[in-house]
Every structure is written in structure tokens, then in C-alpha cells.
Structure 1
């Protein structure tokens, strides 16, 4: 066993990991000493001992403060991951000791999980009242790195393109059509027949550039010779879109069955868009596995998806249809 192997496997401790992360955060020994409630010489000594034990220089002293070397960058990245795992283990142990059944950290993609996730959470609380959940809403670009780093257990919503998944595992849950929506007062809502050209005069509520839906939507509208005007609002918020449709003549593009809200009823325009998106589903990092609480949450999501399917016979327009469950095992890694 080399000196490096010995130090990493035998002598590296959680306090070393916390020290690395704290130095990387503040890049200044005085600030590190303040937040860790020790003296500057003590911080300097601990860092020197760690570098000596590893036989590597982890930080360079510069006029801008302590800057990680390539060795430091590598170890800091893994230190953050290991501390996250330790915190998760602590939370599970505390939950077991207190009689609760754990906590699940879920990332929710806006709009596409707005119906599925609440129903799944209701099922979870019926089955396991002691299992608690933290839900964080965000975009794919924000949530996938959090899932990779272990800050989230699951991400629920519209599944991203397969080439972005990396080492994430997925389960498809619901096929949800993309619909054109307006308020009931909208001039188009009163027309018995509708042509694509009828959409041209009206402003739009659009998903932002870079979102999963934006590019395929623009291509679909261009195919029907409906250019997007310069009069639009960009948002991923279902609440903002609903509220705007109630008071304006905007047209919104929404997934699933957004028209059935009795508080803010919407009108579905009778124009069919092609399949623009992948199904709604759930993602997790297969390199980390799932805690029992997260496994239960996945089971509740599957059951909620089954309950959201239409009754016997052909699905009605706008109905959500359970997607065939599927897991992906890509070989590349997303970081």
C-alpha cells in the first residue's frame, strides 16, 4: 500500500473533508478560522498536516488568497460528495432513532410534475406519515447537478433528452400531450372551427429559451406557418400562465391536463400538436442507489401515474396516459 493509499484509507477523517470544503469556500485562512472557531495557526497547521500526509500540494498561496491546485480541486470535489453522503446517513439514523421513517429530497420540474407529484405525495403520506419530503422546484439545468451531487434523491417531471442523462436512471411514468390553452373569454374560444392561421394575431406565453419544450414548439409552429410574434411572456410557472390567461388574450402552451382547474378554468384550442416532449417520469443517480424512503416515493409515483390514466376506452383529448416503465443504464457520466 502506497503512502497516498494508506492516508486516504486509514487516516483521512471527516474533519479533513470539512476543512477542505471550508477553505475552498472562503479562500482565506482568517475567515476559515472565524467560521470554524479556531485560530489561524491551527487552520494552517491542519492544512499542512493534510498536505504532508497525502504528499500533495492542495492549495497555492496567491495574492487572491488560497487557490486549489488540480490535486486540491479533485479532492474538494470528492470531499463535498462524501460529506453529502455522511449528512444523508446522519439524517436516516436520526429518523430511525426518533421513530420517523426518513426524508426524501425531491426536485420538481415546473409544470410537468404539477399534477403527478401532489397525488404521489398524498399516497406517500397515507402509507407512511413519518416519511417527510422536501420539494425544490427548478429547471433541468439546475436540478440535475443537484441530483448528481447527492443533494437531491429524485427529480420528477418531464424527462430530458436521453443524451443528457449520463449515469442517471429513469422511469417513465406518464405520457402527457402538449396543448394550446386560452382563457374562456378569448375570441378563439368562441369559434366553432379553428385554423392555424387564426393564431397569428395573438401574443404567446412561452417556455424560456433552452427549456425542453421551446425548440420543438417553435419548429411545430413554423411547420404550420405560425411565426411567433415579438409580443410574448416567457415563464415555466403554471401559476403565472394560468393567471395571465384569465385576464388577457394570450395563448399558452401547456402539458398534461391544465384546463380542469375549477378555480381557473381554461379552454383547450382544438388544434393538435405532434409529440413534442418525452414522458413525465422520475430520475435518480444509480451510482448512489435509493434509500427506503426514496424507493417508497418512486412506488407512490408509479401508483399515482396509474390513477391518472383515463378510464376504459380510448383516452380523451388531453388525458395523461401512463408510459411504459423503463430504466436507462447509460455508460457516460454527467458532472
Structure 2
């Protein structure tokens, strides 16, 4: 299917038409909240609106747009294609306004400001932390919030303006059109165990050697877990026996050090924990005779949205560190 984009003039005319009909920020906030909550009552509650007030606001928005924006479902509501289009644009408008307020406050107080970035584990260790350290030596007033989690959490949070940009992957089934993506690198995987694990001292470990042991892995559907499962099945092994699912590295390490469990992690995490000068020498990577590689991650930002100066500096520093 061929995708077309609107010109600046077409976007401006569309915006003027809706604004001329009375579209307000309150309508945009409600549509974005409906997209998040899937229920009118919950969306209204998040905006501190009563259910009747939220209903009136939705009716106004539909009258202004000239289209139904949502449909009732057995367990809530779902946005129509028109509602989804308005919600997508509403997020960008609200993000721009939020950033404007943030930048104005920073300028007024003479601060460089805060950067909010989300990342999957490997680039958080290898790219975000060292780039941020170098940047803060040059700009002592720069502060940062770094959230490390999976891409299926990061990208939706980016659309909700909880991050300036993220480093990760586009989740399966997610519409990439609102995103600007700069691909960086693939992620190699290590299998971590406790230092005195029965397999720890073997010079080579094959897939058949893994079968007797439990695993601790990221939640079902996560890319790391799916990749490991696919590789093992392709090599003729059974799917890992995972009795504990968690995205928490602390929970993973706790389980590893107290059992013969195996955990897949990025090689960056393995080096940080068990490499020379590692901070948790109670664990070690297995010398596996096969390789596991997760598809590339990238720098992801909202398309057409200019980054605040603080975020732009860190974004450029990460690009330079990645050599891309």
C-alpha cells in the first residue's frame, strides 16, 4: 500500500478548520486519554472530569470533527479510524506544548534542563550512561532521567511524551509512521548463570546441555525471550523451561545466585556483571557453542518534533558514540 503525507499547507488548513469549529486542548486531552484507557469513565477520571462532563466533551469533539471518534465495545470503547488519527495528532500537539513549557522554565531559570530518555538494557549500558557522563562534564547543569525497560513499554511511553527519545525497537504490530528511527546495532545475547553452576566451568556448552535447567526470562512476547526460544527450537532443542518471568535485573540476579537457573541477557550486561572488574562476580556467562543475536535497536523519536536542547545534545552524543 502506498502511503502519502500531507504538506505543511494541508496540515495547516486542517488545523485551522478544526480550531475554527471550536476544537480545544480539552478535547485533545480527552481523545488521548481515551486511547490510553479504553474507557470513558477512566479517561475522565485521569483528567479529573466527571463521567457526564467527559461524555459532553466527547460529543463536542465528535461534532467538531464531523465523525464518530469512538465505538462502544463490550468492555469499554475503541477509537474509530478518525479517532485514532485525532489521538495521534493530539499526542504530538500536547507533547509540543509540554516541551514549550519545560523549555521556557529552563530558560527563565538559566538551566540547560533535564533530558528524559528510555532504553533497552544494552544501549543503556554502552551508550546512554557513558554519553551522559561525558556530556555532564561539559554541562554540569544538565540532569537526566533514564528509564530501562522493554521496547513494548518504551515506544508507547514515547508517544505519551514520557521520554524525549528512546533507544529500542518498534514493537510488533506498532504503526511506525509517527516515529523517526535511526538504526544503530544488533544485540548479542549471553546466557548467565551463578559462578558455581554445574555448567560454568565447561569449555563449551551445547543446547542439549541446557535442557535439565530452569530459566528466568523476560515476560512472554518480549523480543529477547522470543529470539532465544526461536534459536533453541531451530537448533532442535526444547523451548526453555521458564518458571519465572521478569524484566527486573535485580530479580533475575537474585534467582540466579540462589539456584541453577539460566538467564539470557545482553553481552553488555554480562560484561558489566561478570567481566574484568565486574560488579557481581557471583555470576558468569556460559561458553555456549552457538550464537544468539537480537535484531537491531535504534534511536527513536517522534517524527517532526524538535528535541529540547538538553535532549538534542544527548541524542547527538549517542550518535557519535555509536559511530553512526
Could you tell me how far apart the structure 1 residues matched to 2:298 and 2:228 are?
Answer: 20
For normalisation by structure 1, the TM-score amounts to 0.69
Superposition deviation, residue 132 in structure 1: 2.8
1:284 to 295, 301, 308: 301
Structure-2 residue corresponding to 1:264: 280
Q: 2:212 matched to 1:196?
A: no
- Tell me if the contact between 2:151 and 2:171 (Cα under 8 Å) persists in the aligned partners: no
Structure-2 residue corresponding to 1:300: 317
Q: How does 1:44-63 map to 2 (within 5 A)?
A: 54=64, 56=66
Could you tell me how far apart the structure 1 residues matched to 2:25 and 2:224 are?
Answer: 45
Could you tell me how far apart the structure 2 residues matched to 1:16 and 1:198 are?
Answer: 59
**Structure 1 gap ranges (5+):** 306-323, 326-335
Superposition deviation, residue 91 in structure 1: 0.6
Structure-1 residue corresponding to 2:129: 118
Summarize deviations over 1:145-190 as a string: whole Å, max 9, x none. 2323444221124x34798572323334444421122111111112
**Structure 2 gap ranges (5+):** 1-12
Q: 2:176 matched to 1:166?
A: yes
C-alpha RMSD of the superposition: 4.1
Could you tell me how far apart the structure 1 residues matched to 2:170 and 2:85 are?
Answer: 28
Could you tell me how far apart the structure 2 residues matched to 1:217 and 1:91 are?
Answer: 41
Structure-1 residue corresponding to 2:109: 98
For normalisation by structure 2, the TM-score amounts to 0.71
Could you tell me how far apart the structure 1 residues matched to 2:99 and 2:220 are?
Answer: 35
Q: 2:193 matched to 1:182?
A: yes
Are residues 180 and 153 of structure 1, via their aligned partners in 2, closer, same or farther at CA, if it must alter by over 3 Å? same
Structure-2 residue corresponding to 1:128: 139
- Point out the structure with max Rg over C-alpha: 1
DSSP 3-state at the match of 2:199: helix
Aligned residues: 293
Are residues 5 and 81 of structure 1, via their aligned partners in 2, closer, same or farther at CA, if it must alter by over 3 Å? closer
Superposition deviation, residue 98 in structure 1: 0.8
2:230 to 219, 229, 235: 219
Superposition deviation, residue 249 in structure 1: 0.9
Structure-2 residue corresponding to 1:333: none
Could you tell me how far apart the structure 1 residues matched to 2:20 and 2:131 are?
Answer: 43
- Tell me if the contact between 1:179 and 1:272 (Cα under 8 Å) persists in the aligned partners: no
1:249 to 248, 254, 260: 260
Structure-2 residue corresponding to 1:328: none
Superposition deviation, residue 202 in structure 1: 1.4
Are residues 73 and 172 of structure 1, via their aligned partners in 2, closer, same or farther at CA, if it must alter by over 3 Å? closer
- Tell me if the contact between 2:96 and 2:305 (Cα under 8 Å) persists in the aligned partners: no
1:89 to 100, 117, 123: 100
